[in-house]
Every structure is written in structure tokens, then in C-alpha cells.
Amino acid sequence: MANIDHHPLLAKRMPIVLALLAIPAIGVTLVSIQIFAWGFAISCLGAALTAWLYAGDLRRIRFRLVKTDGRAEVISAELWLVIGMILIAIVVPLIIQMYSAKTVSPDISQARHLGIEERAALLADLRSQGADRYRFEVISASGCDECEEYAEELREAFSSVPGWSAEGGMAIFGSAAVRGIKLLVRSTGERPTIAKKIGSALTAAKVKFEWSQDGNVSPEGANLLIARKQRP
């Protein structure tokens, strides 16, 4: 008869492990449909719960691998399965996100830029609106270098006008499915003054954008999201 000590609580824990498989599976599914932030968080939750359930076994791995006392144990198939689950739950979403970002990257030859005339029109419109102080962020889509370069051009243009400060950077998480330029406000039905001024300047520069609601934006604020180019 096999020594059951090599498979502690096997009968009790494996059904739980199989149930936990559903958590990273849901996470990977969400990542595959470009809902990366939630999908990666759910996958990591599944990995963390599995690691917690097998914490004792995982801590003893080094004793099983290093034969110092002559009583080293072979790592069970059960534990190998658990280790594989944890790695898959963390690595697979990252691979999917990297592949998605690569496949939707725009052609560099068609990169967007704020032209001289567009920049001049944007600056003229901002200056005509008065000398109040405004601060907002221009955010670029995750994994899109072209988006970040265009966003930096817009930040520099806005910040060159006295009273205006445009900051921001590349988003850590985001959806590769989002396209175009989004002017983010708390509610599109109640657009604050700063949002109207940004929208007016973009319109003057003939920069196409869409209004979009974002619950993370303050009621009196606005942000600009530079996502990947619209498909032809």
C-alpha cells in the first residue's frame, strides 16, 4: 500500500483545488477578451488562495529537494499540479496581454502627430479662453508606444500655455480593444469647465475625440485618454 504521508489531505484538498481552478480560468477568460485589469486580479486571487491552502507543503519543498538528512521526499504529483496552477494563473494573463498589445500596435509609418497647424490652432483656442489655472492628465494606452508619443506631444502643447498643466503617462493596465481618443469626465451630462475647454481646443485643432464617462474622474475634473488608432 502506498504511503499516504506523501499525499497529505489529498482526498480533502483536491476537490477544493479543482474548485479554485475556476477562479484563474475566469481571470484568463476576462484577459482574453481584453478586460485585463479585472482578469489579472482574479487570476492572482486564485493563485493566492491556492498558495495559502498549500502553504505548509510549499514551505517544505526545499527539504524535499535537498537531500541532507537521508529522508528526502519526492514532490507529489498533487503538489506539482498546484505549482503549475499558480504559475499558469500569473504568467498566462501576462502573455495574453503582451500578445494582444503587439498584434494591435499601429503601423509606425501611420503614427499620429500633432502637426504645426493643429498645434497652433489648439494653443490659440486655449489662450482665447482666459488665464485661469487648469491641471489634468493625458494618459496613453498600455503597451502602445505610438499612443504615448502622441500623448506626450499633447501634454507639451497644453502645458506650454500659461495656467495649464498636462501630466500623465502610460497606463499600467487597460484594454487593447479601446480605440481612438477619449475625453474622460465623471458624467457626460454635466461636463465641467475644464472638460469643455479641452474639448474646444481639440475641436479647434481638428483632433477627433469622443466624450466618455469614467467614475474615477473627479466631478470637476477631466482626463484625456489616447488609445490605439481607430481601425480603417
Band (27; pLDDT cuts 50, 70, 90): confident
pLDDT above 80 for 82 = no
Close Cβ partners of 94 (under 8 Å, ≥ 6 residues apart): 40
Band (50; pLDDT cuts 50, 70, 90): confident
In total, the chain counts a number of residues equal to: 232
**Across-strand partners of 225?**
139, 182
Find the mean pLDDT for residues 213-222. 93
Higher pLDDT, 190 or 203: 203
Contact (Cβ atoms closer than 8 angstroms) between residue 93 and residue 39: yes
The pLDDT tens digits for 149-163 are 999 999 999 999 999
Close Cβ partners of 125 (under 8 Å, ≥ 6 residues apart): 200, 201, 203, 204, 205
Determine the Cα–Cα distance for residues 74 and 182; give it in Å rounded to an integer.
55
Band (73; pLDDT cuts 50, 70, 90): low
How does the average pLDDT of the chain come out, rounded?
A: 80
Please give the span between the terminal C-alpha atoms of the chain, in angstroms, as a whole number: 67
Find the mean pLDDT for residues 12-18. 67
Determine the Cα–Cα distance for residues 30 and 227; give it in Å rounded to an integer.
19
Band (54; pLDDT cuts 50, 70, 90): confident
pLDDT above 90 for 25 = no
pLDDT for residue 176:
65
Higher pLDDT, 168 or 60: 168
Least confident range from 60-64, 125-129, 180-184: namely 60-64
Task: State pTM to two decimals.
Answer: 0.58
pLDDT for residue 102:
56
pLDDT above 90 for 135 = yes
pLDDT for residue 68:
52
Q: Within the chain, how many helices (H) and strands (E) appear?
A: 9, 5
Neighbours of 207 (CB within 10 A): 18
pLDDT for residue 63:
54
